[in-house]
Amino acid sequence: MKKPILIVMFILIFAASAFAGAEWRAKTVTVAQAKGQSNTIVMQVCASGGNVKQIFEEVDKDNEMFQKGSYWLFKADESALYMVNPAEKTYSRLPLNAMMQMAGVVGKLVKIKIKNPVVNMEKLGTAAVLGYPCQHSKMLMEYDMEVKIAIIKSKSHVKIEKEAWSTPKIKAMAEMAESFRFRDFKTGYEDLDNLIEAQMKAEADLGFPLKMVTVNTSIDKKGNAKETSRQTMEVLSVGSKNFPASFFEIPSGYEEKQMGFKDDEE
């Protein structure tokens, strides 16, 4: 169920024809063990008052979620993510509440238990990135995970190391976070939700990340470690910009393309 978001409603009612916001370009390189998960993406991100538009300028490996020239659109007044393809003049609407409900259905079939969670944050000093003073930090998150599907069980120890260079001097994070501040998204897995909450609290005051390196490692019951993914994100440029209200709207004439998610609130 959607929660009332009064502040966002006031913004929509009283906003002028243009919004002051933030704009940045970022490059993300993902190297993963899982098939089809490795990719290199350069995107332009525009954010204002909770509206977020991610335009994929370069995509090394196109797929249904990431296509060169397409963009994602999240509007502050809706609980949905739009995937828009200007070349085809189509869009797909992914209602976030339906996705969470689907996670709940899967949760009845796939049992996930997380035990012994640890979240540690270490501040490593300051450094300049793109001319901005940044807090250099490293977060270590570890936990034991047990997955059960029917009678099949698997256990592993998961380690996530995230090194970040973040600055409070850029308001981009605030522009993006406005959409999520009054929302309560849950995966349906209580242990996982608690772990995510602990991670968010640890990172709450770091500011806008200009560079991040995230390494995921899985350790089996014999103690063998395997790096499952490594992702490096670097902001290439950042600045302020005024956006017309229409910038965060889907152009007229675009047709909806179904992706398998249905919103029961419609």
Domains annotated for the chain, with CATH where assigned, are 6-256 (2.50.20.10)
The pLDDT assigned to 230 comes to 94
Q: Is 143 helix (H, G, I), strand (E, B) or coil?
A: strand
Query: Which of 161, 176, 181 is CA-nearest to residue 230?
Result: 161
The identity of residue 200, as a single letter, is M
Q: What's 31's DSSP letter?
A: E
Query: Locate tokens 């797929």: which residue?
Result: 63
Helix ranges (DSSP H) in 71-189 = 96-109, 172-177
Is the pLDDT reported for residue 7 higher than 50? no
For 229-252, the pLDDT digits (tens) are 999 999 999 988 888 888 999 999
Report how far residue 212's alpha carbon sits from residue 169's, in angstroms, rounded to the nearest whole number: 17
Is the pLDDT reported for residue 43 higher than 80? yes
Is the pLDDT reported for residue 9 higher than 70? no
The pLDDT assigned to 189 comes to 64
Q: Is 216 helix (H, G, I), strand (E, B) or coil?
A: strand
Say which residue, 14 or 66, is predicted with more confidence: 66
pTM: 0.76
Report how far residue 233's alpha carbon sits from residue 55's, in angstroms, rounded to the nearest whole number: 16
Report how far residue 190's alpha carbon sits from residue 113's, in angstroms, rounded to the nearest whole number: 9
